[in-house]
Amino acid sequence: MTSLLRKLFPLTLAVLFFAVQGASAPAQPPQPEAQPPIYLGTAWYPEQWPESRWDADLDLMQKAGIRFVRITEFAWSSMEPEEGVYKFDWVDHAIADAAKHHIFVVLGTPTAAPPAWLTQKYPETLRIKDNGRRDEHGNRQQFNWANPKYRELARGIAEKMAQRYGHNPNVIGWQIDNEYAAESYGPDVQKQFQDWLKAHYGTLDNLNQRWATAYWSQTYTDWSQIPIEEKYGNPGLLLSWKRFVSDTWRSYQKNQLDVIRANSDKRQFITTNMMGWFDGYDHYTVSQDLDLASWDDYVRRDHLDPYINGATHDLTRGFLRKNFWVMETQPGFVNWRPVNTTLDKGEVRAMAWLDVGHGADAVSYWQWRSALNGQEELHGTLVGADGTPVPVYNEVAQVGKEFAEAGPALAGTSVHSQVAILHSYDSRWAINWQRHNKNFDPVEQIMSYYKPLRELAQSIDIVAPTVPLSSYKLVVAPGLEVLTDEAAKNLIAYVKNGGHLVLGQRTGMKNGDNGLWPEREPGPLAELLGGRVDQFYAIDDKPEDVVPVSGTWGNTTSKIWAEQLSTSASDTKVLMRYGKSNGWLDGQPAAITRKVGRGQITYIGAWMDDATMLKAAKWMTETSGVTAAFGPVPDGVDVYPREGDGKKVFIFVNFNKERQTVKLPSTMHDVLEDKDENTVSLEHYGVAVLQAK
């Protein structure tokens, strides 16, 4: 064929096809295109650019394998430039243009950035900051999440959008608002909080008794006396405020979610983009009405830490206990850290595969291209200010190609773990309000268990303490300081049904009101344990302060915190003991365990180093029959199992600077190379996707 004919040929075919269709086939409603099992995406802001530019952007996206764009989450002033005046044409066009490039759309409701006309006309919708001053227009998140007028206006724009796009075949889902974070502290919110307290406590007598308000004459004789406290209040008050904040975010979200659901196809999911370990509200509370959990995944320090990042995915997967989306991630670097270093070449791709390995079904870059003005001009993007690709574009395009190749193998698969780590916002808040040792970071405490357990089991769930636990061989609660009655019952039942429960420091110290359990730690679990914490001690970080510990898991020291344990049942065994230190701890139990029927309960009162925690984790997995999801892997290589639909897939990423070779236990199909293998060789940041045969 001549080059001219080659160019004309598809066109001729297309003309012929439409001619035939036009002649015989009845008009068909547009059918949704098949969705890819794993999505690559990007945040795109068409409202910042002339329409004449869009096709060039979408073309570049399509070439990179991008299959969805998230749009409109900050576009309120472009969609409703004046109250009641709507401009949706441009959104129609953006969705239709994207469809031409086989790019689906997630629509964001624009409520994280109310327009100037709105807050000018309804100043009561602006939030009162914690310094007592009203926020103003010009940034974002300036709204009051509890304000009825704001909710009415937010519901209005969400409803209009849902009515227009709820049945659009190219719209696959909705993101409500963006990164919930900012509360309001004015008298209107205080009144709502007091009403919330009334609904939860019923009577002031009950509240006074449960908060022990006789302490410092805090006794309330009228609901209107109860203040808002975020940091230094009565612990019952502090925890109630956080629960109120969480419930209020939930109802803020439901206000929009209900109108979207009422006006959209079931196939369209509803999510919101959360922020990993951020603890501004209880994510379990807020997630429960969503179809899908998603989060914005930015590295904490300069580089990807596979453990921290992996644990954050596992946390997010635990919100609804199923696969989730990475709604935003960095194309190299961000603009909001003190030094915005970039990920290395290859690291962006490694990160995308780590995400998928932990159960992400989508990875979406923030953002496609910087606005030519605005607060985030220097943030990483996929194309530059000139609209042509920046260096990381090619790496993202490789990810796009690979997601397409691996899609069929990964379709219908998810992460299944034998080990659960329990996590609760109540406990993290409670510890942070009264750390007792400034170095007691509850997330680091969780990580000290997560790291060795992940290394051994190769897959961990992080879930709330009230979820069904019977499918787990091992359940670990590193720092469940607030142990509610409901959670305690769940844990007791788990052990009685044959599970192995391991408790870490501070677990069961407080009840659901953030008050002390009179039984001492682990409170309602002490009887089952046949032992308890006699006393806790904060340990300073001077070399002479460290406390020696030795026993089943070798010789080590306890830092930060040490609990003096005792046993009350004859069959409770001591695993570790403290050595000579402050006198109180000398020779006392540091870790104890008891078999209860087919089950087992263990308490660890020391904060031990990584090497010892690895030994402890080995003991935990061995005594509970936990097996590695894959088996031995070379140093620095991570393996992520996903299974389902009769398939078993292992994703490998090499974080070791040296090339590593993974021996497979049997011949597997290398999905990206499309050939069978018995070993795979991985360079630094190298990735392989293997499907068991």
> Using the rule CB under 6 A, is 344 a contact of ligand GLA?
no
Cα 130–chain centre separation: 26
Cα separation, 241 vs 227, in Å, equals: 10
Active site residue 179: yes
User: Smallest distance, Å, CB 416 to ligand GLA?
Assistant: 29
Please work out, in degrees rounded to the nearest 5, the angle formed at the alpha carbon of residue 475 by the alpha carbons of 471 and 477. Answer: 145
> Using the rule CB under 6 A, is 379 a contact of ligand GLA?
yes
For CA atoms 307, 647, 684, 378, the dihedral sign is: negative
Contact 590, 558 (CB under 8 A): yes
User: Smallest distance, Å, CB 327 to ligand GLA?
Assistant: 8
| Cβ proximity to ligand GLA, 223 vs 298, nearer residue | 298
Contact 146, 192 (CB under 8 A): yes
Please give the single-letter amino acid code of residue 644: G
Rg of the chain over Cα atoms, rounded to whole angstroms, equals: 27
Backbone conformation region of residue 617, classed left if phi is above 0, alpha if psi is from -120 to 50, else beta: alpha
Task: For 69-86, give the DSSP string.
Answer: EEE-TT-HHHH-SBTTB-
Task: For 636-691, give the DSSP string.
Answer: TEEEEEEEETTEEEEEEEE-SSS-EEEEEEEEEEETTTTEEEEEEEE-TT-EEEEE
Cα separation, 548 vs 545, in Å, equals: 10
Question: Which residue in 376, 441, 545, 609 binds ligand GLA (CB under 6 A)?
Answer: 376
| Cβ proximity to ligand GLA, 178 vs 448, nearer residue | 178
Question: Which residue in 58, 113, 334, 509 binds ligand GLA (CB under 6 A)?
Answer: 334
User: Smallest distance, Å, CB 297 to ligand GLA?
Assistant: 9
Annotate each residue in 133-172 with x if it binds ligand GLA (CB under 6 A) or - if it does not, as one string.
----------------------------------------
Cα 123 to Cα 152, 167, 570, distances in angstroms: 14, 35, 67
Cα separation, 383 vs 206, in Å, equals: 59
3-class DSSP assignment, residue 562: strand
* DSSP-assigned beta bridge partners for residue 421: 462, 476
| Cβ proximity to ligand GLA, 366 vs 553, nearer residue | 366
Annotate each residue in 195-234 with x if it binds ligand GLA (CB under 6 A) or - if it does not, as one string.
----------------------------------------
Burial category of 342 from C-beta neighbours within 10 Å (exposed 0-12, middle 13-18, buried 19 and up)? middle
User: Smallest distance, Å, CB 457 to ligand GLA?
Assistant: 31
| Cβ proximity to ligand GLA, 331 vs 512, nearer residue | 331
Contact 649, 409 (CB under 8 A): yes
User: Smallest distance, Å, CB 227 to ligand GLA?
Assistant: 20
Cα 467–chain centre separation: 17
| Cβ proximity to ligand GLA, 329 vs 505, nearer residue | 329
Annotate each residue in 311-330 with x if it binds ligand GLA (CB under 6 A) or - if it does not, as one string.
-----------------x--
Any long-range contacts for 190-193 (C-beta under 8 Å, 24+ apart)?
190/226, 190/227, 190/228, 191/224, 192/146, 192/244, 192/248, 193/226, 193/228, 193/240, 193/241, 193/244
Q: How many residues bind ligand GLA (CB under 6 A)?
A: 10
Site for ligand GLA in 165-194 (CB under 6 A): 178-179
Cα separation, 133 vs 142, in Å, equals: 12
| Cβ proximity to ligand GLA, 70 vs 349, nearer residue | 70
User: Smallest distance, Å, CB 535 to ligand GLA?
Assistant: 17
3-class DSSP assignment, residue 270: strand
User: Smallest distance, Å, CB 379 to ligand GLA?
Assistant: 6
| Cβ proximity to ligand GLA, 376 vs 677, nearer residue | 376
CB atoms within 10 A of CB 5: 9
Question: Which residue in 159, 183, 282, 296 binds ligand GLA (CB under 6 A)?
Answer: 296
In this structure, what are the phi and psi dihedrals at residue 236, rounded to the nearest 5 degrees? -65, -40
Contact 560, 439 (CB under 8 A): yes
Burial category of 419 from C-beta neighbours within 10 Å (exposed 0-12, middle 13-18, buried 19 and up)? buried
User: Smallest distance, Å, CB 298 to ligand GLA?
Assistant: 6
Count each helix (H run) and each strand (E run) in the chain, helices first: 18, 25
| Cβ proximity to ligand GLA, 538 vs 628, nearer residue | 538
User: Smallest distance, Å, CB 512 to ligand GLA?
Assistant: 25
Active site residue 47: no
| Cβ proximity to ligand GLA, 178 vs 285, nearer residue | 178
Residue among 47, 73, 183, 328 flagged as catalytic: 328
| Cβ proximity to ligand GLA, 201 vs 366, nearer residue | 366
> Using the rule CB under 6 A, is 366 a contact of ligand GLA?
yes
Label the pairing between strands 294-297 and 324-329.
parallel
Site for ligand GLA in 545-604 (CB under 6 A): none
Contact 605, 505 (CB under 8 A): yes
Cα 54 to Cα 47, 60, 171, 392, distances in angstroms: 10, 10, 18, 21
Residue among 73, 179, 402, 521 flagged as catalytic: 179
Cα 303 to Cα 333, 357, 490, 659, distances in angstroms: 10, 18, 38, 19
| Cβ proximity to ligand GLA, 355 vs 455, nearer residue | 355
| Cβ proximity to ligand GLA, 351 vs 477, nearer residue | 351
User: Smallest distance, Å, CB 83 to ligand GLA?
Assistant: 25
> Using the rule CB under 6 A, is 282 a contact of ligand GLA?
no
CA neighbours within 13 Å on the CB side: how many for 107? 29
Cα separation, 133 vs 671, in Å, equals: 57
State the catalytic residues. Answer: 179, 328
Q: Which residues bind ligand GLA (CB under 6 A)?
A: 178-179, 296, 298, 328, 334, 336, 366, 376, 379
